[in-house]
Amino acid sequence: MTSPDPSARPSRPETQWRGPSLRTVMIGVFALGGLMTWQMHRAYVHGEQVVQAVFPVMEEKGKSLDAEGCIDAVIAWHKQCDATAVMCNHGVKQAMYHCLKSQDRQAGCKQLPASESMDGKWVFLTCKERGSQCKRTKDCVCADAYRAFDSFCRTDGEAVQL
């Protein structure tokens, strides 16, 4: 038995670059994925700390504010919120609850439109009247604050629907 003639194989040009190996590419992908995961986790933890820190502040402010004052305080907090936009937007309803629960809100609840006459757009009209016109209906801090107030009133001060 003889070995095949090595000269019969096609030769590869030695000067042609073939690129990185699959192992190198996969290591790079996994390293980048790990780095992105770590960064997202850090952003999430920081955002949670920012949102959680506002609750005791709002409870204290709520002792001396009416419902409109709570809405103003939450809007002001949202403007300087240092978390991700999603976390800040979600924190509006929670911050409103902590502000509102600090005292009896029955008088303020009576000033809301009757539930039979509400069509859902009253929040946008109310925000426009107070100078906080909503540019996007899905991401409107003022509207979310009013909805939280309405939810607080409908549950007799027990909760805010998130």
Write the DSSP assignment of 103-141 as a string of letters.
Answer: S--HHHHHTSPPTTT--S-HHHHHHHHTT---SSSSS-H
Digitized pLDDT (tens) for each residue of the chain, 162 residues in all: 566 665 566 655 566 777 788 889 999 999 999 999 999 998 888 888 888 999 999 999 989 988 889 999 999 999 998 888 888 988 999 999 999 988 888 888 888 776 655 666 778 888 888 887 777 777 788 888 988 888 888 887 777 776
- Output the pLDDT for position 32: 95
Q: Which residue carries 């805010």 as its tokens?
A: 160
| Residue 64 DSSP class | T
Q: What gap in Å lies between CA 50 and CA 91, rounded to an integer?
A: 9
- Predicted TM-score (pTM) of this structure: 0.73
Q: What gap in Å lies between CA 134 and CA 132, rounded to an integer?
A: 6
> Please, are residues 54 and 77 in contact by the beta-carbon 8 Å criterion?
yes
- Output the pLDDT for position 6: 58
> Please, are residues 70 and 58 in contact by the beta-carbon 8 Å criterion?
yes
Q: What gap in Å lies between CA 110 and CA 103, rounded to an integer?
A: 15
Of 52, 61, 153, which is closest to residue 112 (Cα–Cα)?
Answer: 153
- Output the pLDDT for position 150: 87
- Output the pLDDT for position 27: 93
